[in-house]
A and B are shown apart, each in its own frame.
Chain A
């Protein structure tokens, strides 16, 4: 038997407004644009895709099962501008066929800079999952599947049972991502590894007319899943939720593909769908995977260079986390929340200079004209955060 483990990442950052050095207002976010984008993505992806998943669960009488994580930043925006989408997710939770995964509330890179901040944000996210969906997450995924042995260690200590990451070739070597592994020196924690070939067939290649497999049918894809039968336990298909209708538009046939897929996968009764927790409960650990260096699911490098690959990114991140004590010390809830929203990894992704000149996927998702503009804007905002800390200090002193 091969079990398909679908995991969808739902995220939108709070994009920043143009913030010049001559600005001094403490409002940093471009909520006009954030609302536009959120409404558009809700129309094209969140509503139709979530309804489709709900219908498929009912149609297949609970045998179609998926897992999600929704960041705190997208949930806040959905509450503001598309609350009905949260109701749809609530319906999914009620089916009992959908599992919600924990991550850092602000989709941050806090793990790299401040362990306590990382733990606080993860707890904040777990509380939100409990509040919205009545689930206490058992499984964790770090922002953009960034991962190494240290992340695993901290996450295990926090009590999670499993962690998701990328099934990168350079960590697996000859081994297959279609099994359950554990990190070195770990008692309990299990690793689920993304099958990037099959995941990317859907997420990236689905509409590519230059791809020999185009157009991909659900039947053919189900055949590839079936080939795992006998060579593995799971088929971990991890992808951005926005794949459905936003990255791959509806006219590519992506919704029809998903609608047809469960039927083909489960035909013959050999294969099924399970959630992440069901995967670790059902299948044994087959070995240990050692990941001393940071990996992620981004780009071909599968490393963290998309967020921390140049001097501007490291400078901005360093300066941001250098403010931790100052910000937290003010006990100003609004300032702390603003500062945490500035931690969202997207802000650093926009500063990436890799292939900037070629105009690729980085550019498509970038609200700035250049990575330099992103950096300048961000640093101007940090100046204002510093000014607010100083002002709070001055008030406290008087």
Chain B
């Protein structure tokens, strides 16, 4: 079986959970003998390390660039030149474009020199912007335009590839999925990792909503990452429940070659927030709880790792709460830095307002860090050995943070049971469910 998969991020060039999920899912599918052709947009740097090697296009063509790729067994990558930006909204995208135009010339000049000398990818130095796509791509400052461009290019790839089904991840690839499915007659599976309601609360972007709704209704099957997401898909988008399939995400266990990263003599406990600093992730609840914790237990540091549109507001909030000295903002972390910050943490908190799934708590547990998670998250459906709070209940959040910091037996019980629990959540199991979905659509009777 071969699947044409449409996505917009893949490790190591990730800004959130989608890339991690696509990685785990494709490797799980590979184990089960399902081949995947993964179509990715461009704009990735070349020098970051991963066992997945992505090589830059050598041959620049106007119409389409194709990378020579070789990666995970059973996964072939096809790269198309469209600038889909992680977690973008049409508004923020337009803003990014304006900024990138200002810096792009500078970047290109720096790049040649920097790539020679620095092991750090250029786009990381640039704060994770997609400006690296630079040469050869015609940005028109319109995300919807890029979504359509991606669809057009994916359609061209589909003509060259053999596959049994199309699988599209999140709204930016839905139009491509619909187009490919319509042109080839292959069944379309769409995978909802988040909805516009998760990202924007009630102030949704109608254009995005329409794209999502059309994709969901045009697909043969809608895979949701949690019951929570399924309930949004059925209630807000009017998708019949029987068309939805819940497949929870899983976690890749880290390799066991750890050195303790705790600095010698550290007498502060570290409470970690790791994620995009956006409305959806509830960073302000984290800081308000932090204030209450610090009043009772001053030997603690709250680390906010991530970037996002609320970061300046959060820095101001920490200052207003007079806890600036206890809060560290690290900016966006990836790769080894994520491992390091997990290893330093005594506790991980995910106070998300709306979290369709949330892989990060599983990553924390797999690295032996106890977790407090929001009840408004998909992961709380599958994780029992975690402390759970309503995101808005900052008193309870502080109460639980303090309990973990003060009571060693609680930490050890959460660690011990959590470790066992995450080991049972494998991508192979999730991939097996996915394979069943494919099979149900491609079986002769289903046609």
Question: Contact between B292 and A22 (Cβ–Cβ < 8 Å)?
Answer: yes
Of all chain A residues, the one with the shortest Cβ separation from B382 is: A357
Of all chain B residues, the one with the shortest Cβ separation from A351 is: B413
Question: Contact between B409 and A312 (Cβ–Cβ < 8 Å)?
Answer: yes
Question: Contact between A376 and B399 (Cβ–Cβ < 8 Å)?
Answer: yes
Other-chain residue from A20, A315, A372 in contact with B395 (beta carbon distance below 8 A): A20
| Shortest beta-carbon contacts, A-B, top 10 | A311-B409, A315-B409, A376-B403, A20-B399, A357-B384, A312-B409, A21-B399, A312-B413, A21-B402, A311-B412
Of all chain A residues, the one with the shortest Cβ separation from B384 is: A357
Other-chain residue from B387, B398, B406 in contact with A22 (beta carbon distance below 8 A): B398
Question: Contact between B384 and A20 (Cβ–Cβ < 8 Å)?
Answer: no
Other A-B pairs beyond A312-B410, A353-B385, 11, CB < 8 Å: A20-B399, A22-B395, A310-B409, A311-B409, A356-B384, A356-B385, A369-B388, A370-B384, A372-B385, A372-B414, A380-B399
Number of interface residues of B (CB under 8 A): 23
Inter-chain contacts of A372 with B (CB < 8 A): 385, 387, 410, 413-414
Of all chain A residues, the one with the shortest Cβ separation from B297 is: A21
Find residues 399-428 in chain B having any chain A CB closer than 8 Å to their own CB.
399-400, 402-403, 406-410, 412-414, 417, 421
Question: Contact between B399 and A22 (Cβ–Cβ < 8 Å)?
Answer: yes
Question: Contact between A379 and B413 (Cβ–Cβ < 8 Å)?
Answer: no
List 21 A-B residue pairs with CB atoms under 8 Å apart, sorted by A's residue number: A20-B396, A21-B402, A21-B403, A22-B292, A22-B395, A22-B398, A22-B399, A310-B409, A312-B409, A312-B410, A312-B413, A356-B384, A357-B385, A372-B387, A372-B413, A375-B409, A375-B410, A375-B413, A376-B387, A376-B410, A380-B403
Which residues of B are at the interface with A, using a C-beta cutoff of 8 A? 292, 296, 384-385, 387-388, 395-396, 398-400, 402-403, 406-410, 412-414, 417, 421
A311→B292 CA distance, assembly (Å): 27
Q: A315-B407, A369-B388, A375-B407 are in contact. Are A310 and B399 (CB under 8 A)?
A: no
Of all chain A residues, the one with the shortest Cβ separation from B402 is: A21
Inter-chain contacts of B398 with A (CB < 8 A): 21-22
Of all chain B residues, the one with the shortest Cβ separation from A369 is: B388
Inter-chain contacts of B384 with A (CB < 8 A): 356-357, 370
Find residues 341-391 in chain A having any chain B CB closer than 8 Å to their own CB.
353, 356-357, 369-373, 375-376, 379-380
The yes or no answer to A231 lying at the interface (CB within 8 A) is no
Inter-chain contacts of A370 with B (CB < 8 A): 384, 387-388
Inter-chain contacts of A371 with B (CB < 8 A): 413
Inter-chain contacts of B296 with A (CB < 8 A): 21
Of all chain A residues, the one with the shortest Cβ separation from B414 is: A372
Inter-chain contacts of A22 with B (CB < 8 A): 292, 395, 398-399
Inter-chain contacts of B396 with A (CB < 8 A): 20
A275→B178 CA distance, assembly (Å): 77
Inter-chain contacts of B421 with A (CB < 8 A): 357
The yes or no answer to A252 lying at the interface (CB within 8 A) is no
A321 CB to closest chain B CB, in angstroms? 15
The yes or no answer to A314 lying at the interface (CB within 8 A) is yes
Q: A22-B292, A311-B413, A372-B413 are in contact. Are A379 and B403 (CB under 8 A)?
A: yes
Inter-chain contacts of B407 with A (CB < 8 A): 312, 315, 375-376, 379
Other-chain residue from B385, B387, B395, B409 in contact with A314 (beta carbon distance below 8 A): B409
Inter-chain contacts of B402 with A (CB < 8 A): 21
Residue in B395, B400, B409, B417 whose Cβ sees the most chain A Cβ within 10 Å: B409
A353→B409 CA distance, assembly (Å): 13
Inter-chain contacts of A20 with B (CB < 8 A): 395-396, 399
A388 CB to closest chain B CB, in angstroms? 18
A22→B289 CA distance, assembly (Å): 12
B365 CB to closest chain A CB, in angstroms? 13
Q: Per-position contact with B for A307-346: 1 when CB-CB < 8 Å, else 0?
A: 0001110110000000000000000000000000000000
A347 CB to closest chain B CB, in angstroms? 15
Of all chain A residues, the one with the shortest Cβ separation from B401 is: A21
A255→B410 CA distance, assembly (Å): 43
Find residues 282-315 in chain A having any chain B CB closer than 8 Å to their own CB.
310-312, 314-315
Inter-chain contacts of A373 with B (CB < 8 A): 387
B297 CB to closest chain A CB, in angstroms? 9
Of all chain B residues, the one with the shortest Cβ separation from A375 is: B410
A371→B292 CA distance, assembly (Å): 24
A357→B384 CA distance, assembly (Å): 6
Other-chain residue from A312, A353, A376 in contact with B400 (beta carbon distance below 8 A): A376
Inter-chain contacts of A21 with B (CB < 8 A): 296, 398-399, 402-403
A366→B377 CA distance, assembly (Å): 23
Residue in B292, B296, B388, B403 whose Cβ sees the most chain A Cβ within 10 Å: B403
